[in-house]
Structure 1
Amino acid sequence: MSSVLENRLEKIINSQAVAALQSSLIGLEKECLRVNNQGNISQSAHPEKLGSALTHPYITTDYSEALLEFITPPYKSVDDALAFLCDTQ
């Protein structure tokens, strides 16, 4: 490990940052493109089955109707955030 990295890690360990990092929450986002049967980016509207892209708290679109974004609420553990993401998909 480089001395710069070791010094920075030592400063974090000796500061109050460790407690803040240990009590932080974790949220995940996963983005994916919708494609049509030919494998091209879909030009169709956001699927109604997924709910409104404007109001659904966990499934939305990003800059494009074809770019789905799955969002988790904040969790204390990575495992819980991943489980929620898997259930949402």
Structure 2
Amino acid sequence: MRQRGLIWAADVRDDVAGADFAARFHHAARERELLVRPIGNTLYVMPPYVFDAAQARWLGEQMLATLDDVTTDVTTTPEVRHAA
């Protein structure tokens, strides 16, 4: 995970992302009411300027759940998928 101001980015490893990761993640994120900018295997998040701890927690939970949704066909454990 990296950050510049309120722009956050995280790279998803190729072996976890699989084919068409950006499109699959974007679709699944929209179903969870997330507006995320996936480009290739990189997820960009630009939260609003007014953003509290509860909203940050919700965003993190939804991002991880979405990642799980789109990587369930990958033969790795959740611990490997979420490794830093």
Tell me whether the two structures share a fold, i.e. TM-score over 0.5: no
**Structure with greater Cα Rg:** 1
Q: Which has the higher contact order (CA 8 A, sep 6+)?
A: 2
| TM-score bin (small chain) | 0.3 to 0.5
